[in-house]
Amino acid sequence: MIKTFKLTKKFGELTAVDALDLEIKEGEIFALLGPNGAGKTTTISMLCGLLEPTNGTATVNEFDVKKQALEVRQSIGIVFQSPSIDDLLTARENLELHGILYGMNKADRTKRIPEVLEIVGLLDRADGQIKTYSGGMRKRAEIARGLMHMPKVLFLDEPTTGLDPQTRTHIWSYIRDLSKKNHITVLLTTHYMEEAEYLADRIGIIDHGKLIALGTPYDLKQSLGANDIIVAKSDKDIAKLTKGLKFVKGIERDGELVKIKVENAGKNLCQLLVKTGELGEIEVRKPTLNDVFIHYTGKDIREDSAEGGIFERSMNSNNR
């Protein structure tokens, strides 16, 4: 449903997306992760036909994003990170307006509105003004709007930012059910690692405009080369002390804390403690997506770059 070949976008001397090759299958939920300014927003903007690539090509639902931008937009739905639904209108009125803008006839609109409201659990609040909705209800209304014209591909830009954990979990369930029951391809960006792990069939990590890791959540965690991580406080030279222990796959230090990546901690922990001496309090845990993300992108906090607002600025410009 989505395919890119050497997709590239430059802003002057800045290369925001650098020769991106990516394929996303029909019905797949794909999470695109990366630090601020990594190129996520620019990638989605090109796939939506809001930005023209500098080089390379991309197709969405078999439509070329350069030559068939209108057809691309007609076959996709978008849910923005920032609220974009009219809060003075009711949910029904918002969907009616959206259907008109997408050229749906009255009969199709009348049939479709209760269907999408039922999907997101808002049918009983269809005639309530959006401004009376909670944050979670507003997000569900935006998802309903994105689904109104029966898109083949749904783009979700930070879909649960600012929501409480319980509401986020409900939204995740809606997204998974939508994708599986309606065979909708979903491309989402998120900074919540647990969100990516719960939702995504596959994950791509992008940094400095390049795709640096790709795989299922399980495969990416396995790529760290260890199935356990031992976290301990120690000022000793652990790398020197563990030399020759084949089950030790890597060591990272963060201040007083040391992370020792090992194969099968349950089996090898005693041998490690005998070799290194007293480590104080220790914690044994499985690698997480957060570990994967830090491993591939580093620990530096990135400032928001100019590309961060392109998606919504481009849409607003097109709406005008």
Give per-residue pLDDT as tens, 163-204.
788 888 888 888 898 888 888 999 999 888 999 999 999 999
Domain with CATH 3.30.70.260 in the chain: 226-286
H-assigned helices in the chain: 40-47, 69-74, 91-101, 106-119, 135-147, 165-182, 193-199, 217-222, 238-241, 265-276, 289-297, 310-319
Query: Is a pLDDT exceeding 60 seen at residue 96?
Result: yes
Q: Tell which residue, 55, 50, 65, 48, has the closest CA to residue 20.
A: 55
Rounded distance between C-alpha atoms, residue 213 and residue 196, angstroms: 14
Query: Is a pLDDT exceeding 80 seen at residue 281?
Result: no
Q: What is the pLDDT of residue 319?
A: 45
Q: Do 39 and 11 form a contact (C-beta atoms < 8 A)?
A: no
Query: Is a pLDDT exceeding 90 seen at residue 26?
Result: yes
Does the predicted TM-score (pTM) go above 0.75?
Answer: yes
The average confidence (pLDDT) of the chain is: 87
Query: Is a pLDDT exceeding 50 seen at residue 317?
Result: no
Q: Do 182 and 23 form a contact (C-beta atoms < 8 A)?
A: no
Neighbours of 77 (CB within 10 A): 24
Q: What is the pLDDT of residue 231?
A: 83
**Which carries the bigger pLDDT value, residue 38 or residue 252?**
38
Query: Could you read off the pLDDT of 123-176 as tens digits, one per residue?
Result: 999 999 999 999 889 988 998 999 899 899 999 988 887 778 888 888 888 889
Rounded distance between C-alpha atoms, residue 200 and residue 128, angstroms: 33
Share of the chain above pLDDT 90, in %: 50
Query: What's the mean pLDDT in 96-104?
Result: 94
Rounded distance between C-alpha atoms, residue 259 and residue 248, angstroms: 11
Query: What's the mean pLDDT in 213-229?
Result: 89
Sign of CA dihedral 169, 187, 82, 40: positive
Q: What is the pLDDT of residue 301?
A: 53
Rounded distance between C-alpha atoms, residue 140 and residue 120, angstroms: 6
Q: Which residues lie below 8 Å from residue 202, measured CB to CB, with a gap of 6+?
A: 24, 28, 30, 31, 214, 215, 216
Query: Is a pLDDT exceeding 80 seen at residue 25?
Result: yes
CATH code, 226-286: 3.30.70.260
Q: What is the pLDDT of residue 232?
A: 83
Domain with CATH 3.40.50.300 in the chain: 2-75+151-220+300-319
Query: What's the mean pLDDT in 14-31?
Result: 95
Tokens encoding 154? 């749904």
How many helices and strands, by DSSP H and E, does the chain display?
Answer: 12, 14
Query: What's the mean pLDDT in 12-20?
Result: 94
Tokens encoding 83? 């609220």
CATH code, 2-75+151-220+300-319: 3.40.50.300
Phi and psi angles of residue 307, each rounded to the nearest 5 degrees, phi first? -70, -15
Bridge partners of 90, per DSSP, are 129
Q: At which residue do the structure tokens 């097109």 appear?
A: 318
Query: What's the mean pLDDT in 243-250?
Result: 85
Q: What is the pLDDT of residue 307?
A: 57
DSSP element (H, E) containing 284:
strand 282-285
Query: Is a pLDDT exceeding 70 seen at residue 278?
Result: no
Phi and psi angles of residue 261, each rounded to the nearest 5 degrees, phi first? -85, 125
Query: What's the mean pLDDT in 224-230?
Result: 82
Give residue 311's pLDDT band: very low, low, confident or very high (50, 70, 90).
low
Q: Do 171 and 135 form a contact (C-beta atoms < 8 A)?
A: no
Phi and psi angles of residue 315, each rounded to the nearest 5 degrees, phi first? -65, -45
Give residue 105's pLDDT band: very low, low, confident or very high (50, 70, 90).
very high
Rg (the chain; Cα; Å): 23
Q: What is the pLDDT of residue 6?
A: 97
Q: Tell which residue, 92, 47, 28, 109, has the closest CA to residue 310.
A: 47
C-alpha triplet 39, 40, 43: angle, nearest 5°? 85
Query: Is a pLDDT exceeding 50 seen at residue 320?
Result: no
